[in-house]
Amino acid sequence: MPDRERVLALLRELEISDAEMGAVHDELHGLLEEARVIRAGALGLQSFRSSWLPTERQRTDGELGRARDEVTAARAALVAAENAVRDAAKDAKRDAELFEVRARDRLSVAERRAVEAENAVQSLEKAVRDGEILEETLQVKARVLAAALRGRPKVAAEAGAEPPPGLDGMLAWAETVQAALLVARGQAAAERDAVIRQANELGAVALGEPLTAMGVEALAHRVEQGLAGED
């Protein structure tokens, strides 16, 4: 095989290797992003349950209790006002009726606040149920990711272990997976860089001139054009 054809053949082999390593690197990056999403979701859910939820539940329960007490008091006040209207003398009737109107308004406001407080409690409980669904979803994603990593070359074996149940176990597992994928992605990047350097060195020798570092595909095209121009 003439030197020109041998050089081009070597560059094409390096181009294929570069494409394959690039695909591996991109896939590892995608898997790493999946692990980060799982960890971020678990962290958010853990914070929700340990910090925000107890405080919010205490607040909404307290507001609901106070609102219900106010409704009870307002209803009693309205009954008293209605009795006052019924029993009032003629010259006191007008004042009694005004008192009844204010008592009825107070009850209306209290009932509206009670409804709002009940809605807040229900919304909080919905958030709790949504959190349970999210945890189940994260567990499924974690198991799928573990299966994708199990036995994968360059990835530490513990990354493919079955994620433990519960948020704490999932977080510990996700951190292990992230570390393993960071290492694997770094190795893939280093191997790809070595292929690119080898191709650039080969191209520079083939053309007899220094070349600006470039991707293998572009380099192969540049060398092919350069060698063709020598004919």
Confidence category of residue 213, pLDDT binned at 50, 70, 90 = low
CA distance 44 to 48: 6
Among the ranges given (9-18, 153-162, 222-231), the one the predictor scored with the smallest mean pLDDT: 222-231
Q: Which has the closest alpha carbon to 22: 190, 152, 145?
A: 190
Q: How confident is the model at residue 199 (pLDDT cuts 50, 70, 90)?
A: confident
CA–CA separation, 137 vs 57, rounded Å? 24
List alpha helices for the chain, DSSP H. Answer: 3-47, 53-87, 93-149, 167-207, 216-229
Average pLDDT (120-138) is: 96
Q: Is the pLDDT of residue 216 over 50?
A: yes
pLDDT in tens, 35-64: 999 999 999 999 999 999 999 999 999 999
Cβ neighbourhood burial of 199 (10 Å; 0-12, 13-18, 19+): buried
For residue range 159-175, what is the model confidence (pLDDT) as tens digits? 999 999 899 999 999 99
State the pLDDT at residue 227: 65
C-alpha–C-alpha distance, residues 100 and 83, integer Å:
9
pLDDT at 228: 62
Give pLDDT, residue 211.
65
pLDDT at 84: 93
Please give the residue that has the higher pLDDT: either 227 or 128: 128
Asked if 141 and 38 count as a contact pair (C-beta separation under 8 A), the reply is yes
pTM, to two decimals: 0.77
More confident residue, 211 or 6: 6
pLDDT of residue 185: 94
Tell me: pLDDT of 217 over 90. no
Residue 164: φ, ψ to 5°: -65, 155
